[in-house]
Amino acid sequence: MVISFTKMNGLGNDFVILDYKDFLKTNLKPDELAKRLCDRNFGIGADGLIIVNPNTDKADISWIFYNSDGSIAQMCGNGMRCFARYVYDKKLVDKKEFSVETKAGIIIPQIISETEVRVNMGQPILEPARILVDSKSNLDIPFVIDDNVFLLNTVSMGNPHCVIFVESDSKNLALRYGEKIETDAMFPEKTNVEFVEVLSRNEVTINVWERGCGITLACGTGACATTVAGILNGYLNNKIKANLPGGALNIEWQGNSTDTNHNVYMTGRADYSFVGEITV
């Protein structure tokens, strides 16, 4: 069976996007399809699979999202920007600001330009039980690994994140410890892991070990979670530039330690890589 696909990326975090009719043609379960299409040696190669799903009565449109290892992702910020540009360009929605049904709830993207999308990511989740972390608190949790003590800050943006602020070497720390933290028993459904260097109150550098993917060039929900954790710890202002290996995102959260009921906004690029056909 030959199906059509579009490959897109948000700051190098890349995705295979399928229309629903092409997904149905495969007669495969989405987890199996994700593993096959996202394989970088035998498939197209991507961090995740996005299936456009028009079958919703809860929003303007919906999506089905799977990580490259076949696991479900409740949300993906970079994926949402790519999805938003794709469905707008395909005229599957007829307005620049619209609602998308996801497993993390209703998300509102807005097309800013031909390459930029702003996404209302909703309110961060800070209660440990809802973050899915086995801890009584969500900030400054001591965690010992290989004789190193890290302070973990857990935030959910519909998917769990573990934010760790470090002085330097965030890239190597993510490579060395990301998977160990992702799969630790403290996180019953695993977690995304961000190692963060604070450059100023308005700028950070982030290296991410993404749940179900490993090291990625960018993570939109991770940048959002980092901003929230940084503000709650008193490190950051309410608007920041988040530098990731694949590029920069602008994140805004007007919350603080006494008033967390504010939505997080993320703005960044969404780019086409190529289109094609593949036999499955």
pTM over 0.75: yes
Q: Are 258 and 114 in contact (CB under 8 A)?
A: no
Two domains, one topology: 2-120+270-279 and 128-262: yes
Name the residue ranges covered by the structural domains of the chain. Answer: 2-120+270-279, 128-262
Per-position pLDDT tens, the chain of length 280: 999 999 999 999 999 999 999 999 999 999 999 999 999 999 999 999 999 999 999 999 999 999 999 999 889 999 999 999 999 999 999 999 999 999 999 999 999 999 999 999 999 999 999 999 999 999 999 999 998 999 999 999 999 999 999 999 999 999 999 999 999 999 999 999 999 999 999 999 999 999 988 999 999 999 999 999 999 999 999 999 999 999 999 999 999 999 999 999 999 999 999 999 999 9
Q: Are 199 and 228 in contact (CB under 8 A)?
A: no
Q: Are 112 and 267 in contact (CB under 8 A)?
A: yes
Q: Which amino acid is at 258?
A: T
For the annotated catalytic residues, the residue numbers are 76, 219
CATH of 128-262, one of 3.10.310.10, 2.60.40.1260, 3.40.309.10, 1.10.540.10: 3.10.310.10
Q: Nearest-CA neighbor of 159 among 223, 109, 88?
A: 223
**Structurally, what CATH architecture does the domain formed by 2-120+270-279 represent?**
Roll (3.10)
User: Residue 129: enclosing H or E segment and its boundaries?
Assistant: helix 128-131
